[in-house]
Structure 1
């Protein structure tokens, strides 16, 4: 059950919520005991609306060699995750998902809670994050069926993926946490190198398909236009 106190800010009003949101893949990704994320449709105090994608994340910090996590390192990783993921996938990148006939706007925002002391009964995701030197590299990946992922401290640094594209590992892997597949190894979008699920960081209209159907259904059911 979604606890609105941990998601909503002061003055926001919950209109509708779903704990098992539809994804682009109608497979086991969305049919396990724990959903990958919650979706909430919320009204701001000013009358505009927000589509909120919410995740509870447990992070296991892993030392490597002589690289040890400090409290500041952990705080910085969580701050980067909140800010950089939301800036790329959320409101700063897609300021307005939709403008209604009533002149009200719908924006997109991602919110996260990091489970440090076991206060939640369940987590959407468990992430193992390795402490690396700046000159080290490790393969980051997400295992959707297990709701787990492997990240490291260099995943917010840009890496050259093709002659004209750069990408940060964390923002690409977050797409898998939403239910999106890789596009760089096969399929009709293999040549779209700028795509965030390929070799770049551009979010395409097709990447919105994970939440737009539920949003449109909610607008119809609540007679919001």
Structure 2
């Protein structure tokens, strides 16, 4: 199988090279103003060759056995604990029920509520720097509802070898006192104020890999990050994107680098460009297909099947 795939890749590379060669010759001939009979013959010969290669490519692809059959897929068990996407960011459990197509993305979070500085609340009538039990419970409940609602069920996946199999994403947030994926530190700050939130990247040494996410008490509310974009963002929704392996898409301290761009290019054939846009990993609120690429990669890895793709 690997040898056949390698030959197909080489054929595709040859096709691309020949197309470039044809364009080069065509431009050269047209630059003279008139294409002679001899030159037209050369172009026709090139087109004939490329058509033969394309036919051979389709023949070889058709001869490949399916990656999996539906019956084998349905009988499988698919689950992986502590899945880390190949993007330096993100950690979650992933499991797939082949019977109903439910891909569960489970984030276990230790909700760690941190009291604010008393000085920051001086003169703030009716506000306390200390989290009450009621406030903790309400904030946690609102956070879970927000993240599950915003991130789940946006896009679906299919496999070309299996008809009538559609996978949907179900994002679940679970409070965990132990065995959590992230220590979610939520600092209390005065209403209407802002503090920088963050999610830690993976440590090169797994034994010292402390997964921490920091939010503040106002991160469940919309704020304007860039007035020119005309879209608002909830910090908690953006930061959860980091917890599932997505990098910032706005221009940051590491310009030109977006850690999930390779997954986006492989899955969608598009190139990410940094900037202030309406996308959730930029400064807006829109969750696009590019923000589901770590879920797609998790599906590929948990099933061992590489042909999964977005449903159009």
1:21–1:211 Cα contact (<8 Å) kept: no
Equivalent residue for 2:173, pick from 91, 99, 112 = 112
Aligned to 1:136: 193
Aligned residues: 192
Mapped pair 1:193 → 2:193? no
Structure 1 unmatched runs, 5+: 1-12, 31-35
Query: Matched residue of 2:136: which SS?
Result: helix
Aligned to 2:297: 213
1:14 & 1:153 partners in 2: Cα distance? 43
User: Residues 122-161 of structure 1: CA distance to partner in whole angstroms, max 9, x if unpaired?
Assistant: 2211011112221222111111233101111110111112
How much does 1:76 deviate? 1.5
TM-score under structure 1 length normalisation: 0.75
1:76-115 map, 5 Å: 76-91=138-153, 94=154, 96-98=155-157, 102-115=163-176
Mapped pair 1:173 → 2:245? no
2:84–2:92 Cα contact (<8 Å) kept: no
User: Residues 1-46 of structure 1: CA distance to partner in whole angstroms, max 9, x if unpaired?
Assistant: xxxxxxxxxxxx9931112435241x4x47xxxxx11101125xxx
1:139-150 map, 5 Å: 139-145=196-202, 146-150=210-214
Query: Matched residue of 1:41: which SS?
Result: strand
How much does 1:192 deviate? 5.6
2:85–2:297 Cα contact (<8 Å) kept: no
Distance 1:131 1:209, change over 3 A: same
Distance 1:199 1:215, change over 3 A: same
Question: Structure 1 or 2: larger strand share?
Answer: 1
TM-score under structure 2 length normalisation: 0.56
How much does 1:74 deviate? 1.2
Structure 2 unmatched runs, 5+: 1-74, 119-127, 203-209, 257-271, 307-312
2:216 & 2:111 partners in 1: Cα distance? 11
Aligned to 1:7: none
Determine which structure has more spread, i.e. the larger CA radius of gyration. 2
1:214 & 1:142 partners in 2: Cα distance? 20
Higher deviation after alignment, 13-22 or 125-134: 13-22
Higher deviation after alignment, 148-157 or 133-142: 133-142
Equivalent residue for 2:225, pick from 157, 161, 182 = 161
